[in-house]
Chain A
Amino acid sequence: MKTIQRSDWSRDRAAHLLNRAGFGCTPEQADAAAKRDPAELVDELVSFDTARPPAPPEWVKPGVEEREKYREMAGLTPEERMMRQREIRRENIERLSQLRVWWLERMRTGAAPLQERLTLFLHGHFATGMTKVRNAYAMYEQNRMFRAKANGNWEDIVLAVSRDPAMIIYLDNAQNRKGRPNENYARELMELFTLGEGHYTEKDIQESARAFSGWGLHRDRMEFLFQPRQHDNDRKVFFEKAGNLNGEDIVRFILERPRAVEYLARKLWAFFAYTEPEDEVVSDLAAVLRASRMELKPALRAMFLSPAFHSARAVRTQIKSPVQWLVGAILHLGAPRIPPFLSQMMLRSLGQELFDPPSVKGWDGGPSWITASNLLNRYNFAGILAKGARAIPPNLVGQFAGGGPGKPDKPGKPGKDDAAMDMEREKFRKRVAAGAARLPALLSAPDVLPAAFRADPDQAVARLFDRLFQSPLRDKDRLAFREHLKDMPPVSKWTATEVQDAAHHLMSTPQYQLT
C-alpha cells in the first residue's frame, strides 16, 4: 500500500487521524501530533499494550458468583426462586448500566483510544445484545476479549467469538446439538462475520451448523464448554472439504477463502475511512492482511498511513455515530467526566445503546444514524451537555415516575427495557429528593475559549471552530457564524454563559455531525 511521507504531513491530517483512530481531539493534541513523524505516530497508535487490561467494574468476579447463584437457587421453593430471579435480573440491569459508563469513561480517558475504537468496531461487527443474553458478566467478558485482541489476529478473534458465551446465547448455539442442528450461528458467521451474503450455499450452512454442534456453555460459570456427546461426529462436506469437521476447521476453511480477506478489508475501511472504497484500496489492504495471515496491526498501520485515508473522500465525510458524537462532545467541551445518567439516555435516544445493538447485523452506521428526529435531538442534547438544564425538570421526573407506553421486549409483558427504565427512574427520584436534579453544565470555558483568544471576535471564532471541528470549514459557515455574533455581547465581555451558548450553536449544525 502507498504511504504518505513526512513532507505530506500537516496539522489537518494529524487531526483527521486522531479523530478517526480515537473519539476526537483537542487543538493541543492536534498540534502535538502535527509535530511528529507520521509513521512513528501511527506505529505508536497501533501498538497499544494489550497485556495490561484496565481494572474491571468492581462486581466482575470471573466464574465465582455465577456458580454461587446457581447453587443457592437449587435449595429454594418455586416462589423464592422467582423472587431471586427477579433480583438477579435487576442486578444485571444495574451492572450493565455501570458497564456502559465504565466503557465510555475508557473511551474518554483511555491511554489507547484506538484500542477502544477497535473494541467498538468488534462489538458492532460481532454484534451481541443484552436484550437476549441477559447477563452483564457475559457482556463484560466479551468486551474484555475484544479489547485484549483488538490489534490481534482475525482468525484468533473469530474463533474466540465462536466460543464466546454471550455469542453462544445470542445466536442459539447452546441449542445446537447432534441430530437437532440449529443454524443460527453458522449462518451469521458466514453472512455477517466473515464472507458476506452470497458467498456460500444453504448446504454450507447446514454442514457447518453440524460442525458447531456441542459448542455450548457452562451456564453456572459463563464459560465455553465443548459437549462431546452433543457433537455430531459424522462426515460433513464444507467448501469441497470432507471429513469429521469441527468448528475450528470451519473457521479455518472460511478464512482461507480470498473473499474473507477482502470482506474484512472493506469492513475496516468503512469503519475508519469511508464506505464503498475503490477496488484498488480494497485489494491493497487485502494484500497487507494476506501477507500477515490476517494480523490487524500491519493492516491498521497501512490504512492510517495511506494517501486514500487522508484524501478528500475521507476527511470530514463520516457521520459520527452517537458514541463518537457523545464522547467527542465530552472531549470538546472539556467536561470532567461522562455523565452517567444523561449519557445513557442520550445514546438510547440517538440509537446506539452499547451492549444492545438493534440486531445481529450491528449498527448500520453512516446516514442511518440520522433521521429528522434524532438530528433535532442531537441539537437539543448538545445544549444540555454544554449548558446544563437550568431548572429542575419536574416533567422529567414525571416521565420517569409514570412512564408512557412501555418499550417491552416481549409484547404484552413489561420487558427488560421497562425494568431498566424503572431503575433509572428510581435513581433519578433519589437525586431529586436529594436536591441534585439540576443538570450541571459540563462545558469548561477556560478550555474551550482560553482568555488568550478573547481579544477579538475573529480570533474567538477561529478558536471555537478549531476546538469543535478541528478544521476551518467552509467560508460560508464561518461568515454565517461571524455575522451571528453581532447579536452577542463583545467577546471580551463573555462569561461562561456566552461560551456555552456559542458551543451549543456550533454543535447544532449539520457540520458538527461529521468527522
Chain B
Amino acid sequence: MNREPTLITRRSFLRTGLVGGSLAWSVPSFLHATMQTLQAATRANPAKTGTGRDQPILVVLQLAGGNDGLNTVVPVGNDDYHRARPRLGIAKKDALRLDDRFALHPALTGFKSLFDDGRLAILHGVGYPNPNRSHFRSMEIWHTATDSDKSALHGWIGRYFDNQCQGEDPAVGISLSAQTPQAFLCGSAKGVCFVDPGRFRMLDPSMQDDDDHAMMAGDGGNEGGSVGMISGAAAITGDPLDFLERTALDAQVSSDEIQAIMKGAYDGPAYPGTRLAGDFRNVARMIAGGMPTRIYYVSLGGFDTHANQSGAHERLLRDVGDAVKAFLDDLKRQGNHDRVTLMAFSEFGRRVKENGSGGTDHGAAAPLFLAGAVVKAGLHGKFPGLADQDLLNGDVRHTTDFRSVYATVLGRVLKTDPKAVLGREFPLLEVIGG
C-alpha cells in the first residue's frame, strides 16, 4: 500500500468527514463542523512526512501483577532457590536448559526456541533502587521512569513522543488496551488505545452495515486475579473539554488509517487462540499495513499469584511464550523482523521464599526479556544471588536499573537521545549493539 504522508491523510479526513461525508445531516458532518478550531490548529502545525515502512518499532509487553521471575528464568543449580521453594521450586530435570545454571520454566517452549534461534535475550536482576512492593506504585515507577521516591505524571514513552514525534500522527503510539497506559501520557496527546483495531471506528450513520453491529461484541473485560489490566492515568493537565476534543480528533484520524488496513485481507500464519496472541496478530497486521506507529503496547494480567501459583503461572507463561514466538515468526515472514524489537517486563518479581498458600508475595527485581533480530541473544547481566546476605528484606536485589534498559532501547532501537527522554544518563547495555 502506498500511503500518503500523514498530513495529507488528516487533511483529506477533515475535508471528507468521517465516513465519506456524503450526508449533510449526519453525526460525522456535525463533528466536522464543530472541529473547525482544531482543524485550524492542525494546519498551523505542519506534520513531518514519512511512511511507516522504514522506521524502527518497539513493542512493549507488560506482564501485570508481578511476574515470578525466579520461576520464569529458574536458577536450577542454586541451592538457596530450592531451599526457599520446597513446594513451588522447579527441578532441573523439568526445566528447559539455557546453560549450566539457568533454565526456563517448562511452559516457556516458545521462549526456549527463540533463545536457541538467537532471537531472545534475558537480562538478570532488572529493577530499581529502594523497590516499592505496591503494584500500582511500582507500575507508576516503571511507566514514568522516575526514582522510586519521586512521582511524575508523564510516561517515558510519552516523553519520547513529546521529544521526537512533534507534529506526527497520533497513532505514533498504539496501545491494545481499554485504558491509556501511563507510559503513554504526554503533553502532546499522542498515542491511541483500543482493544480491537477492527472495531475502532464510527458506525455507518445509516446503521445498515452488517459489520457495524460487530462493534457490540464488546471490548474490555478482565483477566484473573486482583491485579488484571494495566493501570492507567487518572489525571490530565488542563481543561477536560480540550482533552476530549483532542481525543475525538485523534480518534477520527487514526480510525481512518487503521480501518484502511483492517479491511484488507491478512494471510498471516496461525496464532494460538488466546487474547494475547490475538493482540500480537493485530500488531503484526498493523506493522504489515505500514502504520506510522513506532511503539505498540500490549499487556497481560493475572501474574499476582499469592495463592496456588503453579497452575496459573504455567498457563500464563505458556500463553506469553507461544504468543511472542508466533509474533516474531510472523514478522520474519513479513520481512519486518529487522526493525521490530520486543521488550517484556513486569512491575516487580516475587518474594524468594514461597508463602503458606502455595503462592508468592510481592518482591523486587526480576529478569526482563528483549527479543528480535537486533538483540544479542543469550543471558546478560549479573544474577543477584539468593543467599541471605544477597537479599534485600527477603527480595532479589537489582543488578541492572530498568532505566538502563530504556536508555538502550531508546538509543539503539529508536535512535533517539536517551537523556532527552529520561532526564539523565544511564549506562547503555551491551544487549543491543550500538
Range class of the A interface residue count: 35 or more
Smallest distance from the beta carbon of A351 to chain B beta carbons, Å?
4
Q: Which residues of B contact A374 (CB under 8 A)?
A: 178, 194, 219
**Contact assessment for A514 and B244 in the assembled complex, using a CB-CB cutoff below 8 Å:** yes
Q: Which residues of B contact A396 (CB under 8 A)?
A: 213-214, 216-217
**Contact assessment for B302 and A358 in the assembled complex, using a CB-CB cutoff below 8 Å:** no
Q: Is A78 located at the chain interface by the 8 A CB criterion?
A: no
Q: Beta-carbon contacts of B212-235 to A below 8 Å, as 1s and 0s?
A: 111111111111111111011111
Which B residues, 379 to 425, have Cβ-Cβ distances below 8 Å to chain A? 393
**Contact assessment for A367 and B211 in the assembled complex, using a CB-CB cutoff below 8 Å:** no
Q: Which residues of B contact A483 (CB under 8 A)?
A: 33
Q: Beyond A360-B226, A366-B234, is A411–B316 a contact (Cβ under 8 Å)?
A: yes
Out of B210, B231, B235, name the residue touching A395 (CB < 8 Å): B210
Residue on A nearest B37 in the bound complex, by CB: A476
Q: Which residues of A contact B136 (CB under 8 A)?
A: 191-192, 197, 359, 361
Q: Is A311 located at the chain interface by the 8 A CB criterion?
A: no
**Contact assessment for A170 and B213 in the assembled complex, using a CB-CB cutoff below 8 Å:** no
Smallest distance from the beta carbon of A365 to chain B beta carbons, Å?
6
**Contact assessment for B218 and A406 in the assembled complex, using a CB-CB cutoff below 8 Å:** no
Q: Is B180 located at the chain interface by the 8 A CB criterion?
A: yes
Most chain B CB within a 10 A radius of its CB, from A202, A377, A484? A377
Residue on B nearest A170 in the bound complex, by CB: B226
Q: Beta-carbon contacts of A316-338 to B below 8 Å, as 1s and 0s?
A: 01110000000000000000000
Residue on A nearest B230 in the bound complex, by CB: A358
Smallest distance from the beta carbon of A383 to chain B beta carbons, Å?
6
Q: How far is the CA of A415 from the CA of B356 in the complex (A)?
A: 27
Q: How far is the CA of A127 from the CA of B34 in the complex (A)?
A: 38
Q: How far is the CA of A156 from the CA of B180 in the complex (A)?
A: 36
Out of A182, A367, A481, name the residue touching B236 (CB < 8 Å): A367
Smallest distance from the beta carbon of B39 to chain A beta carbons, Å?
13
**Contact assessment for B214 and A353 in the assembled complex, using a CB-CB cutoff below 8 Å:** no
Q: How far is the CA of A52 from the CA of B65 in the complex (A)?
A: 40
**Contact assessment for A387 and B247 in the assembled complex, using a CB-CB cutoff below 8 Å:** no
Out of A179, A275, A390, A403, name the residue touching B234 (CB < 8 Å): A275
**Contact assessment for A412 and B315 in the assembled complex, using a CB-CB cutoff below 8 Å:** yes
Out of B24, B221, B357, name the residue touching A348 (CB < 8 Å): B221
Out of B134, B210, B251, B359, name the residue touching A393 (CB < 8 Å): B210
Q: Which residues of A contact B193 (CB under 8 A)?
A: 371-373
Q: How far is the CA of A264 from the CA of B27 in the complex (A)?
A: 42
**Contact assessment for A131 and B223 in the assembled complex, using a CB-CB cutoff below 8 Å:** yes
Smallest distance from the beta carbon of A393 to chain B beta carbons, Å?
3
Q: Which residues of A contact B201 (CB under 8 A)?
A: 376
Residue on B nearest A183 in the bound complex, by CB: B361
Q: How far is the CA of A124 from the CA of B233 in the complex (A)?
A: 16
Q: Beyond A202-B133, A368-B234, is A383–B241 a contact (Cβ under 8 Å)?
A: no
Q: Is A36 located at the chain interface by the 8 A CB criterion?
A: no
Q: How far is the CA of A349 from the CA of B232 in the complex (A)?
A: 16
Smallest distance from the beta carbon of B260 to chain A beta carbons, Å?
16
Q: How far is the CA of A197 from the CA of B194 in the complex (A)?
A: 30
Smallest distance from the beta carbon of A136 to chain B beta carbons, Å?
16
Out of A182, A319, A372, A413, name the residue touching B194 (CB < 8 Å): A372
Q: Which residues of A contact B33 (CB under 8 A)?
A: 480, 483-484
**Contact assessment for B179 and A375 in the assembled complex, using a CB-CB cutoff below 8 Å:** no
Segment at the interface with A among B4-12, B50-58, B272-280, B369-377:
B272-280
Q: Which residues of B contact A413 (CB under 8 A)?
A: 315
Q: Beta-carbon contacts of A278-307 to B below 8 Å, as 1s and 0s?
A: 000000000000000000000000000000
Q: How far is the CA of A433 from the CA of B396 in the complex (A)?
A: 59
**Contact assessment for B215 and A380 in the assembled complex, using a CB-CB cutoff below 8 Å:** yes
Out of B250, B300, B355, name the residue touching A182 (CB < 8 Å): B355
Q: Is B202 located at the chain interface by the 8 A CB criterion?
A: yes
**Contact assessment for B226 and A393 in the assembled complex, using a CB-CB cutoff below 8 Å:** no
Out of A172, A349, A387, A487, name the residue touching B220 (CB < 8 Å): A349
Smallest distance from the beta carbon of A449 to chain B beta carbons, Å?
16
Q: Beta-carbon contacts of B235-263 to A below 8 Å, as 1s and 0s?
A: 11000110111011011101100000000
Q: Beta-carbon contacts of B21-56 to A below 8 Å, as 1s and 0s?
A: 000110101110110000000000000000000000
Q: Is A350 located at the chain interface by the 8 A CB criterion?
A: yes
**Contact assessment for B224 and A368 in the assembled complex, using a CB-CB cutoff below 8 Å:** no
Q: Is A181 located at the chain interface by the 8 A CB criterion?
A: yes
Which A residues, 384 to 438, have Cβ-Cβ distances below 8 Å to chain B? 384, 387, 389-391, 393-396, 398-400, 403-413, 415, 417, 421
Which B residues, 316 to 331, have Cβ-Cβ distances below 8 Å to chain A? 316, 318-320
Q: Is A470 located at the chain interface by the 8 A CB criterion?
A: no
Segment at the interface with B among A69-77, A111-119, A460-468, A504-512:
A504-512
Smallest distance from the beta carbon of A461 to chain B beta carbons, Å?
13
**Contact assessment for A368 and B232 in the assembled complex, using a CB-CB cutoff below 8 Å:** yes
Out of B301, B318, B355, name the residue touching A180 (CB < 8 Å): B355
Q: How far is the CA of A380 from the CA of B216 in the complex (A)?
A: 10
**Contact assessment for A508 and B240 in the assembled complex, using a CB-CB cutoff below 8 Å:** no
Smallest distance from the beta carbon of B401 to chain A beta carbons, Å?
21
**Contact assessment for B34 and A131 in the assembled complex, using a CB-CB cutoff below 8 Å:** no
Q: Is A356 located at the chain interface by the 8 A CB criterion?
A: yes
Q: Is B170 located at the chain interface by the 8 A CB criterion?
A: yes
Q: Is B152 located at the chain interface by the 8 A CB criterion?
A: no
Q: Which residues of A contact B196 (CB under 8 A)?
A: 404
Residue on B nearest A508 in the bound complex, by CB: B27
Q: Is B91 located at the chain interface by the 8 A CB criterion?
A: no
**Contact assessment for B251 and A375 in the assembled complex, using a CB-CB cutoff below 8 Å:** yes
**Contact assessment for B302 and A411 in the assembled complex, using a CB-CB cutoff below 8 Å:** yes
Q: Which residues of A contact B215 (CB under 8 A)?
A: 349, 377, 380
Q: Which residues of B contact A367 (CB under 8 A)?
A: 180, 233-236, 240, 243
Q: Beyond A374-B219, A404-B278, A408-B274, is A364–B355 a contact (Cβ under 8 Å)?
A: no
Which A residues, 156 to 212, have Cβ-Cβ distances below 8 Å to chain B? 170-172, 175, 177, 179-184, 187-188, 191-192, 197, 202
**Contact assessment for A182 and B307 in the assembled complex, using a CB-CB cutoff below 8 Å:** yes
**Contact assessment for B220 and A368 in the assembled complex, using a CB-CB cutoff below 8 Å:** no
Most chain A CB within a 10 A radius of its CB, from B34, B221, B274? B221
**Contact assessment for B214 and A410 in the assembled complex, using a CB-CB cutoff below 8 Å:** no
**Contact assessment for B34 and A509 in the assembled complex, using a CB-CB cutoff below 8 Å:** yes
Q: Is A145 located at the chain interface by the 8 A CB criterion?
A: no
**Contact assessment for A405 and B273 in the assembled complex, using a CB-CB cutoff below 8 Å:** yes
Q: Which residues of B contact A384 (CB under 8 A)?
A: 203, 207, 216
Out of A181, A375, A487, name the residue touching B244 (CB < 8 Å): A375
Smallest distance from the beta carbon of B359 to chain A beta carbons, Å?
8
Q: Which residues of A contact B194 (CB under 8 A)?
A: 371-374
Q: How far is the CA of A417 from the CA of B222 in the complex (A)?
A: 8
Q: How far is the CA of A504 from the CA of B251 in the complex (A)?
A: 18
**Contact assessment for B231 and A359 in the assembled complex, using a CB-CB cutoff below 8 Å:** yes
**Contact assessment for A371 and B276 in the assembled complex, using a CB-CB cutoff below 8 Å:** no
**Contact assessment for B357 and A180 in the assembled complex, using a CB-CB cutoff below 8 Å:** yes
Most chain A CB within a 10 A radius of its CB, from B137, B202, B220, B318? B220
**Contact assessment for B229 and A358 in the assembled complex, using a CB-CB cutoff below 8 Å:** yes
**Contact assessment for B25 and A373 in the assembled complex, using a CB-CB cutoff below 8 Å:** no
Most chain B CB within a 10 A radius of its CB, from A170, A361, A372, A390? A372
Q: Which residues of A contact B318 (CB under 8 A)?
A: 411-412
16 contacts between A and B (CB under 8 A): A129-B226, A348-B218, A359-B228, A360-B226, A371-B194, A373-B194, A375-B248, A376-B202, A376-B255, A377-B219, A380-B203, A400-B217, A405-B273, A407-B221, A412-B315, A510-B244
Instruction: Name 4 extra pairs, CB < 8 A, besides A371-B180, A379-B27.
Output: A179-B356, A348-B220, A372-B254, A391-B208
The 9 closest A-B pairs by CB, nearest first: A180-B356, A405-B278, A373-B194, A411-B319, A393-B213, A510-B244, A372-B251, A396-B213, A175-B357
Could you list which residues of chain A lie within 8 angstroms of chain B, going by C-beta atoms?
129, 131-132, 170-172, 175, 177, 179-184, 187-188, 191-192, 197, 202, 275-276, 317-319, 342, 345-346, 348-351, 353, 356-361, 364-368, 370-377, 379-380, 383-384, 387, 389-391, 393-396, 398-400, 403-413, 415, 417, 421, 477, 480-481, 483-484, 487-488, 501, 504-505, 508-511, 513-514
